[in-house]
A and B are shown apart, each in its own frame.
Chain A
């Protein structure tokens, strides 16, 4: 082994690594989603009820807003078959979603309006498997298919076919980029902005803030980060000192936070995190000998609600549990089955914020939860938006009877 060849390999590889790394960083920076023209934005938002438009800020980070794809569709006669086309049922969030759909389906089955069981598929995050399962559900006679797409375009072909067969396609959590489904959920950009704005205000506009994000490069994360960065940019005294990717997983979040804290000795004043990772971040801070910081988190997982209570934090979270999302998705589907027409393909609501008092109330409503609990502390009524808000997105049809009881 010649020393010179080692040195040469070292220098060449380091240079190459540097060039590729800079390229990769620029590619990530270029990941910013270009805004549609003002006219295009106006056309897209024309379908959205005026009162709801503020929640569609920078909607293009998620998916295109378009008119109702079910404009020429007529509802089938009951009993209706509800189905869940899940990308991965391996989390308590997804289990809550399924249980809520089953519970509501049972209510309508008792009234003779739905079939007894919810048909369920699980693709283990494999989008081609999920597409095949969607096609199978459509063939099996599902009238409503609620999907949690693991990819914004991968299900489009199947949704196109099922829409043509008269099946209602509903997405929750992640919208699809094609106009063959009604997407029910919240605008990630708006949510990221709300969380960061709270941190900015809580710090009186001054300090170092870290963003603890989910999976890099996916539309949800890009939207959340863009919203947070836009909100923090309003505070000249706030400096974003880094972005750590925790992949919505406690172990990864804590590992990455420990590494970040070990290599960034500067003062940290605030954290904006997007769910499932807040307790891990706080534990990493405590174990690194750092004082607590102002933190806003994107979800109402039980662990954070319990941690919030135990440490008497001053914080903000957004309610976003699987059960509550399941209720809103079911409500939209049942309205359509009663002949009500949605005005747009994107039914978005602002996620309800949870302040200190709200968190204390929720903690009391969920006895026995601890910072290691993996459940989602939904509000007892399982609403993410008032029914009257969802009603703005519909016209015509018959009133839903009986009303769904979450």
Chain B
């Protein structure tokens, strides 16, 4: 019975994602066409890439509230530097390294000072936004190379595949993350730390190294999302990541990874990304006003989590 219940919990988000697509396609004419499907995949992939690091930090028992700020920093730094003539092949990797360093600092401080990562990453966000302004003075003039814009275009192709590059990148990321979570030492340490941090330390898991690496991954992927969003919006905007605080956390939790960590995984977050994107598209398609969309989205999220997200924490099940 427990096995069946566990399977149901895992499969429910995927079933809901598929069900939502079928319902929306039935209700909204034209939703099943190729352009709409590619739109859905593109928007879900942007959210999926931004949510990847967040998933791992949450599994480990942390939380990364600096995702929007790192996205904004990467977007502005990439577009402004490219606009000033810096090669995208120099500024791109440099921005990703900066994201990795910011993430590593988040993890390092959280673990060394034993301060909640929620507070540390919130403080980092403020510092990042301040640093962006101090450097640009609000003058975010920049531009984005065409190949980045094409990478996140609804009608973009990747070689012979009729999907934009960001969707392909997301698929690769899913494979890497699933292997990382299930087959690597880092993955096992993350689950152990999220399930019971005290016991994990007693089991000699190097928590400082773990937190530093996991937050570094989150920072690096947030930077990647920032570059992609620069291409998507064709602009340098420090606030471009703001929408991704609520949505990345929602995608992780709706996918079935509990906010207190120890369980779940990135594969589930994929379902969460689709559910969030499909729900908003359904509500827009039904012609609901912005206020009504927000109300419905909030209620539907609570409903979904109530259905399959109420399992007790891992350490309470032992």
Interface residues of A (CB under 8 A from B): 1, 6, 9-10, 13-14, 16-17, 20-22, 24-25, 27-28, 89-92, 94-95, 122, 124, 216-217, 242-245, 249-256, 258-265, 279-280, 283-284, 287-289, 303, 370-375
Contact = CB atoms under 8 A, between A and B. Distances in A.
21 contacts: A1-B8, A9-B303, A9-B306, A13-B300, A17-B295, A20-B292, A21-B288, A21-B292, A28-B290, A89-B137, A122-B133, A242-B287, A250-B235, A251-B240, A259-B277, A259-B284, A261-B39, A262-B285, A280-B233, A289-B35, A374-B235
A360 B5 CA distance: 65
Contact of B295 (A6, A20, A92): A20
Nearest to B137: A95
Nearest to B33: A265
A263 B28 CA distance: 6
Contacts of B237: 249-251, 374
B167 interface: no
A216 B232 contact: no
Contact of A259 (B39, B287, B291, B294): B39
A68 B5 CA distance: 71
Given A13-B303, A24-B289, A24-B291, A279 B5 contact: no
Nearest to B79: A372
A372 B142 contact: yes
Interface in B291-317: 291-292, 294-296, 299-300, 302-303, 306-308
B153 interface: yes
Interface string B1-44: 00001001000000000000000100011110101100110110
A249 B288 contact: no
Interface string B226-270: 000100111111111001000000000000000000000000000
B35 A17 contact: no
Contacts of B5: 1
B289 A25 contact: yes
Interface string B119-162: 00000000001001100011111111000000001110000000
A92 B141 contact: yes
Contacts of A250: 233-235, 237, 240
Given A249-B237, A262-B35, A10 B138 contact: no
Nearest to B293: A21
Given A243-B289, A264-B285, A373 B141 contact: yes
Nearest to A264: B285
A259 B280 contact: yes
A289 B141 CA distance: 29
Contacts of A375: 141
A28 B237 CA distance: 29
